[in-house]
Amino acid sequence: MKVLIADKFEKSGLDGLRAAGCDVIFQPDANGDTLVAALRDTKAAVLVVRSTKVTEAMLDAGALSLIVRAGAGVNTIDVAGASKRGIYVSNCPGKNSVAVAELAMGLILAVDRRIPDNVAELRAGKWNKKKYSKARGLRGQTLGLLGFGHIGQEVAARARAFGMPVLVWSRRFAEDASARDEAEQAFGIQVVATAAELVSKADVLSVHLALTRETRNFVNAELLAHIRTGASFINTARGEVVDYAALEAAVKEKGLRVGLDVFASEPAEATADFADTLVALPDVYGTHHIGASTDQAQEAIAAETVRIISTYQDTGRVPNVVNLARLTPATHMLVVRHRDKPGVLAHVFEYLRVAHLNVQETENIIFEGAEAAVARINLDGAPSPRALSAMQSGNADILDLQLVKLG
């Protein structure tokens, strides 16, 4: 199986893919038109990317059947376009959670103790203990987590070790009371009912929302109106989930202290000039979108990428796939008990074709001894009784037919 890697990737991952029998093409600088050309020329079945954008032109260029994001999220990939073309999209959730959580805690500490300003003045030859000895400290300060996936959970564990009470808002807890109760007991947190309530009660607000259509600009002026004067704000999630103009206004109006690893507009290159009016404000600190960039996290992601591709190569199944339909248009299931002989299911499918019925899902389970099987075929409609009768009578190896209405 040909695997094109169009981003930086750990040597252990390259070695693992080759050991699994993959033909690995490593072009870490390929992007845009060069990636389109690479996909066209190599006819790779699998594409691995990290921050490289995957566009519709790339999907049409070659022979892709699987795209793996070597990281969490899939916001850089045209998932809808991949779905239309029957291309699997997978990622590596949770493998960089500890790394991002560690940076979030580092930013919380840096904001509270103004560590970057301390360092800057020391390097400028200035000593100012009087100014920098003023800090609140973290113990007893309420941490509000906006979102509670893998990273939020890791942050909660570390914050509790600092003696910080942890409040959480997550949409899934509003929809699942049992999940809420389990999380409160397992992580020692308190779940609140609304995002506004969380923001109003937090001394430190840390954002851990995945980027979706619903969460884009989720942290907006309306939500930030509830934040406490002098509170700290941390974002190590996605720049797009925060309205940064509204955040800049809140910094000026309420004296917020801010730590950011992601920004509204980031350079596409690894090194570039960067200007942002928000970062220029006092008590606003930033890092260079490095949350997942530890050796430990990258090794874990490489290993998970190898597992995904090896599983796909060996079984045809894709771990962590994100673009399969949860619900299909299927309305009926046709259960076919039959002898395990060639042509039986082809006979059934021919009758379904004539009846203009589309197969949504199918499985064929073989009994011990491989003499008989049961096929379950989900359809977007119901065959007529006459069609069912003709289907069964037309092949002596069909032992029984049963039509089940779904839903």
User: Catalytic residue among 289, 307, 337, 376, which?
Assistant: 289
Percent over 70 (pLDDT), the chain: 100
318-344: average pLDDT: 93
* pLDDT of 270: 80
**Is residue 366 packed enough to be buried (19+ CB in 10 Å), middle (13-18) or exposed (0-12)?**
exposed
Known catalytic membership, residue 253: no
* pLDDT of 339: 96
Are 251 and 276 in contact by the 8 Å Cβ rule? The answer is no
- Domains present along the chain, CATH in parentheses: 2-95+296-315 (3.40.50.720), 97-291 (3.40.50.720), 332-405 (3.30.70.260)
Residues whose CB is less than 8 angstroms from the CB of residue 357 and which lie 6 or more positions away in sequence, other chains included: 379, 380, 381, 383
pLDDT at residue 407 above 80?
no
Q: Cβ atoms within 10 A of the Cβ of 24, count?
A: 21
Known catalytic membership, residue 266: yes
Of the candidates 309, 371, 310, the one whose C-alpha atom is nearest the C-alpha of residue 339 is: 371
User: Catalytic residue among 226, 266, 299, 337, which?
Assistant: 266
pLDDT at residue 328 above 90?
no
* pLDDT of 305: 98
pLDDT band at 124 (very low <50, low <70, confident <90, very high): very high
Q: Can you say whether residue 380 is alpha, beta or left, with left for phi > 0 and alpha for psi between -120 and 50 degrees?
A: alpha
Are 358 and 339 in contact by the 8 Å Cβ rule? The answer is no
Residues whose CB is less than 8 angstroms from the CB of residue 229 and which lie 6 or more positions away in sequence, other chains included: 254, 255
Q: Retrieve residue 256's tokens.
A: 């917020």
pLDDT at residue 368 above 80?
yes
Q: Which residues pair with 81 in a beta bridge?
A: none
pLDDT band at 325 (very low <50, low <70, confident <90, very high): confident
The SS3 of residue 270 is coil
pLDDT at residue 365 above 80?
yes
Of the candidates 50, 61, 56, the one whose C-alpha atom is nearest the C-alpha of residue 79 is: 56
Q: Retrieve residue 250's tokens.
A: 């809140």
Residue that has been written with the tokens 């003499």 in this structure:
371
* pLDDT of 346: 96
Q: Looking at residue 138, what DSSP letter applies?
A: S
Per-residue pLDDT tens digits for 10-29: 999 999 999 999 999 999 99
pLDDT at residue 268 above 80?
no
93-121: average pLDDT: 96
pLDDT band at 389 (very low <50, low <70, confident <90, very high): very high
User: Catalytic residue among 238, 257, 332, 338, which?
Assistant: 238
Query: Rounded CA gap, 94 and 100, in Å?
Result: 10
> What is the end-to-end Cα distance of the chain in Å, rounded?
39
* pLDDT of 390: 94
* pLDDT of 174: 85
pLDDT at residue 299 above 90?
yes
* pLDDT of 116: 96
pLDDT band at 112 (very low <50, low <70, confident <90, very high): very high
* pLDDT of 267: 87
**Is residue 333 packed enough to be buried (19+ CB in 10 Å), middle (13-18) or exposed (0-12)?**
middle
Known catalytic membership, residue 338: no
Q: What is the reported pTM?
A: 0.80
pLDDT at residue 74 above 80?
yes
Per-residue pLDDT tens digits for 21-65: 999 999 999 999 999 999 999 999 999 999 899 999 999 999 999
Helix (H) or strand (E) holding 82: helix 79-84
